[in-house]
Every structure is written in structure tokens, then in C-alpha cells.
Structure 1
Amino acid sequence: MTKVTKATQLRDKSVDELREEKLQLQRGLFNLRMQKATGQLAKSHQFNESRKQIARINTVLGEKEEGGK
């Protein structure tokens, strides 16, 4: 699980770096779902942290893509 990053820190990254980080977070979220389904999930707060981090990345990606048009 990656550390929570603020949007200001995300804005310093390139679009490719953001997409890669988003993909890793989505894979991690899938793994959390599998752990929950099998009863192995110990830290349920990671769901919300992962979802919020993906939302931050989507916001910054939208800003970057909108600015590039």
C-alpha cells in the first residue's frame, strides 16, 4: 500500500506517472476486495484511503488533460 499523497504533490508528476500510480492503486483495491471476501482483511480503512487517492489522481489527470487542450 502506498502512502497517501496530497494533490499538490501529484501535480508535480507527469501524466504517465499518474496513470501508473492509478493502475497500482486499482490493483491494490482489487486485492483488498479479495482479502475482504476471504475474511483476511485486517485494516478496512485502506478501502477509503485507496478510493480517495484514486479520486485525487483522477482530478489531477483531468486538470492536466484539460490544460493540454
Structure 2
Amino acid sequence: MAKKETKSSKLDVAGKSDDQLNETLGELKREAFNLRFQAATSQLEKPSRVREVRRDIARIKTQQSTRAKAASAAK
């Protein structure tokens, strides 16, 4: 069975600049906030999106941490 591609699997974290990562992180945090409200009011259409957003946020934070460690090691 082939793995189904989702929006989160298309998120190219490594190819983005630091500013782009910060912008994307802000957008994802806003989306996570809205999804939590939708879940609380039973209006959530796609429950799996909550998981995808959380994982995308984690991917970005991991990339930012890796870059910060590499920058501090290069100094």
C-alpha cells in the first residue's frame, strides 16, 4: 500500500529561510489555535488536521534549533 501524501509531507522546512520559517510558524500556530476552538465547539471538520499542524510546528522548531546549534558551533 502506497503512503498517502498529505499537506504536511509537502512542507519543505529545510528549503526555507529563517524569516520564512518564522512566518510559517506563526501561521501554523494561528491555525492550531483556531482548530482548538473548532474542536471545543464540535465544529471541527477534519480532526486529522490538528495532528498535522502539531507535527509541522515541531518540524519547524526542530529545524530552527538545528540551525541555532550550527550557528553557535560555527562561531
Is TM more than 0.5 here? yes
Secondary structure of 2:8's counterpart equals coil
Q: What is the aligned residue count?
A: 66
Percent of pairs identical after alignment? 39
Tell me which residue corresponds to 2:53. Answer: 50
For residue 6 of structure 1, report the CA deviation from its aligned partner.
Answer: 5.4
Q: Is the counterpart of residue 21 in structure 1 residue 24 in structure 2? A: yes
Look up the equivalent residue of 2:8 and give its one-letter code. V
1:18-37 Cα deviation digits (max 9, x unpaired): 01101100000000011111
1:25-67 Cα deviation digits (max 9, x unpaired): 0000000011111111111001100000000001110111111
Once superposed, which parts of structure 1, at least 4 consecutive aligned residues long, lie more than 6 Å away? none
* Residue ranges of structure 1 left out of the alignment (5+ in a row): none
- TM-score scaled to structure 1, two decimals? 0.85
Q: Which has the higher contact order (CA 8 A, sep 6+)?
A: 1
Residues in 1 aligned to 2:14 and 2:21: alpha-carbon distance in whole angstroms = 9
